[in-house]
Amino acid sequence: MTIQACLWYYAPRPLKYFVTKREEEKNISALDYRINERIRAREVRLIGAKKENLGIVPIEQARRLAEEAELDLVEVAPNAKPPVCRIMDVGKFLYERQKKEREARKAQVKVEIKEIRLRPKTTEHHRSFKVRDARRWLNEGKKVKVRIRFRGREINYPEIALEDLKEIAEELSDIAVIEQVPSIEGRTMLMVLAPIKAVKGK
């Protein structure tokens, strides 16, 4: 939690009595909402602190109700006509939003991508080592890029590289699927394999 968020959460209400204009603008920007004196509309549709609909009221009345409740007036739907404002604790709202964002980031599964590089003339023995690495990474849940680099006139015979990629895909077909079919990028041919368990988990 940031220092600014702590100030907003633990300070007494209303905020406008202790937050400078510059600090308030900074926090408003962080929230993407206008609050208190920053709300420009003459009248608003007001939602109370208990989420009750208080109807359309003049902005002065809405601010007064927020002050009486020792909370903040927050413009939650600026594009509505009239704008929708809600009486709430901005600090608590910011804290809860940051908490949800942190939990959402933790829930995101980041799939690491590894890469093996070959040549059209790579020997069967050397390729077996590369495929073994690919198998290990796929078993760990990682994706694998298989890249074949062309040198000189080798690019004139892409069918050789394509055949190599097909063979590698077949060797690993028990644990992987082709996520990106072989395609030429510059002087390389590239294929992406994804672990079957990761695809099933989507």
CATH at residue 73: 3.10.20.80
Per-residue pLDDT, 130: 92
Overall residue count recorded for the chain in this entry: 202
Residue 95 neighbours by CB distance under 10 Å: 18
pLDDT of residue 29: 45
Domain extent at residue 83: 3-104
Look at residue 178 in the predicted model and tell me its pLDDT: 93
- Whole-number pLDDT of residue 120: 86
Going from the first residue of the chain to its last (202 residues), give the mean pLDDT of each consecutive group of 10, the final group possibly shorter.
43 44 45 83 93 94 93 91 92 86 77 89 85 94 94 88 92 94 91 80 52
What's the rounded Cα separation, in Å, for the pair 147 and 163? 13
- Both 13 and 94 in one domain: the answer is yes
Clarify whether residues 72 and 11 are in a common domain: yes
Structure tokens given for 63? 């601010």
Alpha helix segments (H runs only) across 69-123: 90-107
The answer to whether residues 95 and 138 belong to one domain is no
Cis amide bond preceding 78, omega within 30? no
